[in-house]
Amino acid sequence: MTHLWVRAEQRPNEERVGLTPEGAAALIRAGIRVTVERSSVRAIPMDGYVAAGCEIAEENLWPKAPADAIIFGLKELPEDGTPLTHRHIMFGHAYKGQPAGRVLLQRFKAGGGVLYDLEYLVGEDGRRVAAFGYWAGYAGAALSLKCWAAQARGGIAGPVRKVPSKDALLAQLGAELAGLGRPRAIIIGALGRVGTGAADLCDAMGVAVTKWDMAETASGGPFPEVLQHEIFLNCILARPGCPVFVPASAKTDARKLTVIGDIACDPTSDFSPIKVYDRATDWDAPALRVHDDPPLDVTAIDNLPSLMPVESSQDYAAQLLPSLLTLTALDKGAWGRAKVEFDKHVAGV
């Protein structure tokens, strides 16, 4: 029997989960064994999983799970260097030259385990079968506006925390923008899920948006138009050949740009299109000031949907469930393609 083990997330400020109780019940009806770890932080209560008929395990017990269990989580595993012997479903961030990603692949190689990277779980058309993109865009745009508002008041954005709902986020943001004008924003990647979420947030807050996508960036740059907007929202997935949207010289170039929301958030990749910073920011310090006069802040948090953990979990889990129902055929379809991608990259470490 295929055995899916849903682990507790161990990363700070991570309350999302990729399987709801309703989804777990559907998997059990399909003959898949489901174990769910207890979690002190998960946004969706445990009671629903119990009622669905899941087996319950203690928090962070996954290293001792049966050898044939498929371990399912979202974000990073603890960086303790231990060999990884199980098959894991997660966002690995390991295939674009990231230093931490290479270490992760070495752990899989040492333990004989397999990574089914959710970023590379794609259909025949190459499109992800499930993505948090919309909510990443929505939250990333909100955070960028928070950074802009803090700048307008002579400061820098302070800590951010989760909100119970989209409406609560909009109310909070409205209060922070009270008495201020509105910046102009440019979104690159505006036609995708991330860009759509970012544009919807901007629209809700009365922010005028210039929407660019592949057609507008086909020239390869440079793109001086980016510097003529107060906020730039990067919503594209960095890949080889990606143009540079913000060169290192932008710090001192003449510009109206004061906030970069790198929603794609891949600063350690060689393909990053934003060259004015080199590390992600976090919930306690969401803005990184890369130039003082005039100010230029970058916000780049890599688990943005966690700002709205319930809505983003429910949305993502609904998208992913059809693929989870095919776990009995791991060598085929999207899972087979993800395995091919893993094999290709692990061979290089």
| Active-site amino acid positions | 75, 93
55-57, strands of its sheet edge to edge: 55-57, 33-37, 3-6, 70-72, 87-90, 114-117
30-58 burial by CB neighbour count: b if 16+ within 10 A, else e? Answer: eebbbbbbebebbbbeeeebeebebeebe
| Single-letter residue type at 232 | F
Peptide bond into 222 cis (omega under 30): yes
- What's the chain's length in residues? 349
Give the C-alpha separation, 315 to 174, whole Å.
25
User: How far, CA to CA in Å, does 342 sit from each of 66, 121, 131, 346?
Assistant: 22, 11, 19, 6
SS3 301: coil
Give the C-alpha separation, 124 to 57, whole Å.
35
Instruction: Report strand pairing: 3-6 vs 70-72.
Output: parallel
Give the C-alpha separation, 13 to 284, whole Å.
10
Give the C-alpha separation, 268 to 279, whole Å.
7
Contact by Cβ (8 Å): 346, 105: yes
SS3 183: coil
* Residue corresponding to tokens 């932080």: 41
Contact by Cβ (8 Å): 280, 134: no
User: How far, CA to CA in Å, does 200 sit from each of 63, 177, 188, 278?
Assistant: 41, 17, 14, 28
